[in-house]
Chain A
Amino acid sequence: MRGVSLNILLAIVWTLFVGEFSLRELAIGMLLGFAILSIFPLSLGTGGYVRRTLAFVRFAFFFARELTVANIQVALWALRPHPPLHPMIIAYPLRLRGDNGQTVLAATITLMPGSVAMGFNPERSVLYAHVIGAENPRAARASLKKVEDALLPLYGQDATTTPLENTA
């Protein structure tokens, strides 16, 4: 929380300096504030916030790329005769713990190549997904693992910490 609050505070200070309170100046202030927080992470205690924000940006790029690939792939399957769907339902053992991370993972794989999340086991340690276009369950699990790997730096493996508590 400390990192986010400091960043917003710095953005407001920036709008005071510029003398113009607009969405554009606020956005510039956020960027400049983030630069300050990443230059002085030790004295400000914002290392965790900076790390997680960068991990989020990396995930956003990864997500945009995968979403585009997924769409071109499914669009081609929709148009060609006899699409090689090979539908199957796979079980994926989760390393992500905690509601936030698992929710984001389920939502993300639904938008990504060839998989739609269907459910969790009662212990919330396995994700069930309907998969099309994968050779075998192992290949399908490998593509889900890529997504989970991208999310792990954001949400961590510890069940007891929510992402907001990590920043303190």
Chain B
Amino acid sequence: MNDFNAARDIPILLGAFFVLTAAIGLIRFPDLYSRLHASSKLITLGSAGIFIGVGLEFAQTEALTRLAAVLLFQFLTTPLSAYLIAQAAYLRGLEPLLEGPDEWNALGKAALLDEHLEERGGG
């Protein structure tokens, strides 16, 4: 407990906090699509915090370059898997729990275009 190092331990603690909330959100959010929000965003920043803390612990070039590569691939792959999971679930007919519209399903192309033009005209 005596060797608390703020630069190293605060990123790790923050990262651990975000990973914990990701786990809680994964259980508490109502359906697969909402749970993806928790797993994609929170896990990315949470693990980034832990990696940064570990990288600062070692503070060597080799550790930092590997850290950069790990972060890069984390940021590349997490959104991709979330996208594929959401798309596969939706296309196979898993009903989302919605309180708003489902514009993928409901809006015809013409209706979408009308609204788009209206928004552009107003702005």
Binding site for B on A (CB under 8 A): 22-24, 67-68, 70-71, 74-75, 77-79, 83, 85-91, 93, 106-108, 110-112, 114, 116-119, 121, 126, 128, 130-132, 134, 136-138, 141
Least Cβ–Cβ distance between A37 and chain B, in angstroms: 23
A118 with B86: CB separation less than 8 A: yes
A90 with B96: CB separation less than 8 A: no
Known: A67-B41, A85-B99, A110-B82. A91 touches B104 (CB 8 A): yes
Binding site for A on B (CB under 8 A): 17-18, 21-22, 24-25, 28-31, 33-34, 36-38, 40-42, 44-46, 61, 65, 75-76, 78-80, 82-83, 86-87, 90-91, 96-105, 107, 109, 112-113, 116, 119
B62 (CB) vs chain A CBs: closest residue: A23
Q: In the complex, what residues of A have CB within 8 A of residue B36's CB?
A: 116, 130
A89 with B105: CB separation less than 8 A: yes
B21 with A87: CB separation less than 8 A: no
A80 (CB) vs chain B CBs: closest residue: B28
Taken together as a complex, chains A and B put the C-alpha atoms of A71 and B22 apart, in Å, by 9
B103 with A90: CB separation less than 8 A: yes
A88 with B101: CB separation less than 8 A: yes
